[in-house]
A and B are shown apart, each in its own frame.
Chain A
Amino acid sequence: MKHISIAYLLILFLVGAITFRLSAAPGNDECLNCHEALDGKVQTPAIAFKNDVHHAAGITCAGCHGGNSSVSDMEEGMDKKKGYTGIPSTKERYVLCVKCHAEKKAMQSFGYRGSTEQFEKLKSSVHFKNSYNDQGPIADCITCHGAHGILGAKNPQSRVHPTKIVQLCGNCHSDPSYMQKYNPGLPVDQVMKYRTSIHGVKNAKGDTRTAQCVSCHGNHEIYSVKDPRSAVYNLNIAKTCSHCHSDTVLMAQYNIPANQYKKYQKSVHGIALLEKGDAAAPSCNGCHGNHAAILPGAESVSKVCGTCHAFNMELFEQGPHKTAFNIKKIPECESCHGNHGIEPVTDEFLGTSSRSFCISCHQAGDNGYKTAAEMKQLLDTLTASKKNADQYLDIAERLGMDVTDEKYALKNMKQLLIKVRTSVHVASLGKFKEEIAPGFEIVKDAETHGRKSIENYYFRRKGLMVSTVIVSILVGLLYLKLKRIEKEDRA
């Protein structure tokens, strides 16, 4: 019985294989011959199919539609009993593509050695979710690649060629009424913005090396921007941009440095995003935009930084540097902090040391130099005093004294110090002193309380000693009195 079953399966396999190869045999497509000779809508697919990569590979109409392409008799060729399926439903038409494209051996039999994972990727993508009218996936293979005139992706006439793909994606993504059915919150101006970007401009000129939709979003594995698997998820976007922008050969062709990602990784923003996983930290698109990616100009740098660092920008605009930078046409934030490799700010950047930003423009003797030196001195004094107060409170706490309120007040100093350091952007000594003054008060109070608590601790022990001595004297006197009474009693 077992042998009969195996033999039966073998026969089935051989019949299937022979049928498949017959339908794939080139130059024997009677369906195409007839449909080509017809008019109207039954002719169009046949004409398109003649240029199709599948036709070139020897796949006949029956390869997808079933039936027998090798016979000229229509009745026989389109006999449903012999497997003719006709026009596939939109719900399941992708199955016809998957039948070969997900099978490595089948693809190899046509000489194809590339990936066969397209369907696996598509299955998990946003496009493969069921459509609003339950007519199959939102987008399947045919939605993008077409049905009868499918061309290789490198063919400039292909719908998925880099110069065509923006239009292809835009067919749906630029259609508000269509997009509203799936994601009303999603903008529909991506193509319009893209065309204003440096990527878009070059792409429009036929440059296939510049980024277009699939360069960033992927092709089959497209996920929502909120999905951590997405190449454009905030934590992944820097890496995605770096695919091209860290390619020294490619970037050399545009005279662009290729070290931005390297610098960004070590920057305060890069550390926050890539190491600490802070999704709120800016990635490339945070400053350059995404679809309308552009280099911020010297005048707009502070506006770009100011979208997050609003208070710093406001303070900077109040100070004398704003006008001076504008006159000299030098970028505002970037001049001191840099761009891609922005370092975490330390107090060393203020003042007149070799690491100070101020000495890039100011020289010994000028007002700016003096102001920077005084600001640094005040800041150093405050941080040193805070450290001192912390130590007093720590000692007091170790001695078991309650310094909770003062510790809490010193914790608030962190906020105050941020404010003080931020006020540096006004470059006004008066404003700086105004901001730093409460800090000195808090530190002084904390230190005084710390000292008093420590003194109090020792005072308690001294007080205890005094009371113990007094009580002990009383005990002694009482003992003597008792002895005297008992002696009198005995007498």
Chain B
Amino acid sequence: MQKEQPKKQEPVTGKPKSSLMQWLDERYNLSALREFAKKKSVPKFRETIWYYFGGIALLLFVVQVITGILLLMYYKGTEDIAYESVRFIDAKVNFGWLIRSVHSWSANLMILSIVIHMFSVYFLKAFRKPRELTWYTGIALLLISMAFGFSGYLLPWNELAYFATKVGTDIVGQVPFVGKFMLTLMRGGEDVTGATLSRFFGFHVALFPGIFVIFLTLHLLFIQRQGISEPDDWAQKEEKEKKTIPFFPNFVLRELLIWLIVINILAILAVYFPWELGNKADSFAPAPQGIKPEWYFLFMFQVLKYIPGKIWMINGEIIGILFFGLAGLLWIIVPFWDVKLKPGYRNRVITYTGLGILAFIIVFTIIAFIAG
């Protein structure tokens, strides 16, 4: 949203500049940038809180990049010493335990933030024209984040990760037509081996970050170009009824404040609940009890457990995968099937569908946690 707010604007030159600012201004024309930022505003209404989750996800991505680079200095992505290198990071490297724990926790919080951000966009109908591409790039960022999580889970090469990856890739292998190819591509062979670890390491530190940055840039560019979405019912409101807050410095400072709170939560989680390493993976050992994927895959994992082995001569797992595939596709293409009503009318179909999906995910995730 780009809106003029003459009342709230201050002259850029209203305050005396510091010598550094003056120095930079002379060279890079920062005043124009500040002027531009001041013109941007964010709608202020009951649901404004949800607007912060995109920023939180961005902060956590930055944390991921920084901690990931630090871990990369000691981590060795080969079958023989991957586990030992992580143990070395945990035990011997100064603050290594903290960096690893922050990396693991922020990865999970980042996906949680993206999921909340996605649902808020969905319920606020912010995916509608003209923001379809912003929605698609956002969905792409979520999928890449999940791929980040799936690949990163295996990197410590511990027992749970090894068998969870085995189960996870087995499920991918069930996808009709392309399953076998995907399975071999992911595993680098028939089984989860050192080749799988090398691949996952490559995907995690090179391929996914590259793709993620491209989609993130596009996502931010789209937002920048189109402005922040307004609530549905604002279309009928008079300009003077629309309350807004300046993007800079008000919204940015609020975002910063939330970021600091998130950093505090992250630090508490990392110190009080450090990410355990467990035992080293052993392909000859029996699968330990309690193998489960990361929490964001849990609802699918649990539902697949309930599907019978055979349904009308068809493999139950394939039907489950097709069901989730279709549901995911429908979710992604919501801008196409969304029924657009006249301004002022709420689209309850979209809202109830979203609530149903959200309840479905929450219920099955809780069941999976309880079932252990």
Chain A interface residues (CB < 8 Å from chain B): 400, 402, 404-405, 460-461, 463-464, 467-468, 471-472, 474-475, 478-479, 481-482, 485-486, 489
Contacts and interface: CB of A to CB of B under 8 A. Distances in A.
A402 B90 CA distance: 7
A479 B250 contact: no
Nearest to A457: B271
Given A402-B90, A461-B271, 8 more contacts: A402-B87, A404-B91, A464-B268, A464-B272, A478-B256, A478-B260, A485-B253, A489-B246
A475 B257 contact: yes
Given A486-B250, A489-B250, A404 B87 contact: yes
Nearest to A461: B271
Contacts of B257: 475, 478-479, 482
Contacts of A468: 264, 267-268
B249 interface: yes
Contacts of B253: 478, 481-482, 485
B107 to A, nearest CB: 20
16 contacts: A400-B274, A402-B87, A404-B91, A464-B268, A464-B271, A467-B264, A467-B267, A471-B263, A471-B267, A475-B257, A475-B261, A478-B256, A479-B257, A485-B249, A486-B250, A489-B8
A475 B253 CA distance: 10
A291 B364 CA distance: 74
A474 B98 CA distance: 22
Contacts of A485: 249-250, 253
A96 B110 CA distance: 90
B97 to A, nearest CB: 8
B65 to A, nearest CB: 20
Nearest to A460: B271
Contact of B250 (A404, A461, A482): A482
A482 B268 contact: no
Counting chain B residues whose Cβ lies within 8 A of the other chain, the interface size class is 20 to 34
A461 B271 CA distance: 7
Interface of B: 8, 87, 90-91, 97-98, 246, 249-250, 253-254, 256-257, 260-261, 263-264, 267-268, 271-272, 274, 276
A460 B8 CA distance: 46
A471 B260 contact: yes
Nearest to A479: B257
A399 to B, nearest CB: 10
Nearest to A490: B8
Contacts of A405: 91
Main SS at interface, chain A: helix
Contacts of A463: 271
A337 B129 CA distance: 94
Contacts of A400: 274, 276
A310 to B, nearest CB: 36
Contacts of A481: 253
Contacts of A478: 253, 256-257, 260
Nearest to A402: B91
Nearest to A472: B264
A464 B267 contact: yes
A463 B261 CA distance: 17
Contacts of B98: 460
B159 to A, nearest CB: 15
Contacts of A404: 87, 91
A405 B263 CA distance: 32
A464 B97 CA distance: 13
Contacts of A402: 87, 90-91, 97
A471 B258 CA distance: 11
Contacts of A475: 257, 260-261, 264
A463 B256 CA distance: 22
A468 B269 CA distance: 12
B243 to A, nearest CB: 12
B67 to A, nearest CB: 15
A409 to B, nearest CB: 13
Nearest to B276: A400
A402 B89 CA distance: 10
B267 A482 contact: no
